[in-house]
Amino acid sequence: AGDKLTVSGTIYTARDAAHKRLTELIASGEELPLDIRGAAIYYAGPTPEKPGQVIGSCGPTTSGRMDAYAPGLLDRGLAVMIGKGDRNAAVMDAVRAMFTARGLGALMGSCVKAAHIVCYEDLGCEAIRELKVENMPLTVVIDSQGNDLYKSGPEAYLRSLED
């Protein structure tokens, strides 16, 4: 937790509505429209691109909104979740066996070099997209040991004030 890294390669965007549909497919025993084994999902709903752009604004949404869906997707092999904010206990339990990275801020769109809709086009900005990214800056907030920067970071900061 606290390590900084960059991601290059294929990631998928998906927000609440898409997660709900994926979870419904899992519950009904149907095939998913994409292979999430070893995949990274970025909790983002990009805005439409302007002329000459690959994608519009592409900042992360609140991760906790996907908490009801994350354990089931992790069980199916999802490897990385990128977003912002705390996660609930069920997700933390599921993460202890997985490596999870969460995203940095508002200028992520500049890291996207190609984008296309994979499924759920009717969801508009919440459709699942495949993104090709280069050097997307991330910080590991919850690591495979269950360390949580959202807890240890503020505690470390408060201790530094005492010194």
- Closest Cα partner for 62 from 25, 102, 91, 33? 102
Give the C-alpha separation, 92 to 116, whole Å: 31
User: Which one from 15, 19, 87, 129 is the annotated catalytic residue?
Assistant: 19
Strand partners, 144: none
Question: Catalytic site residue 116?
Answer: no
- Closest Cα partner for 13 from 118, 105, 122, 135? 118
Q: Where are the beta strands (DSSP E) in 3-62?
A: 4-13, 40-42
62 near 81, Cβ under 8 Å? Answer: no
Please give the positions annotated as active site.
Answer: 19
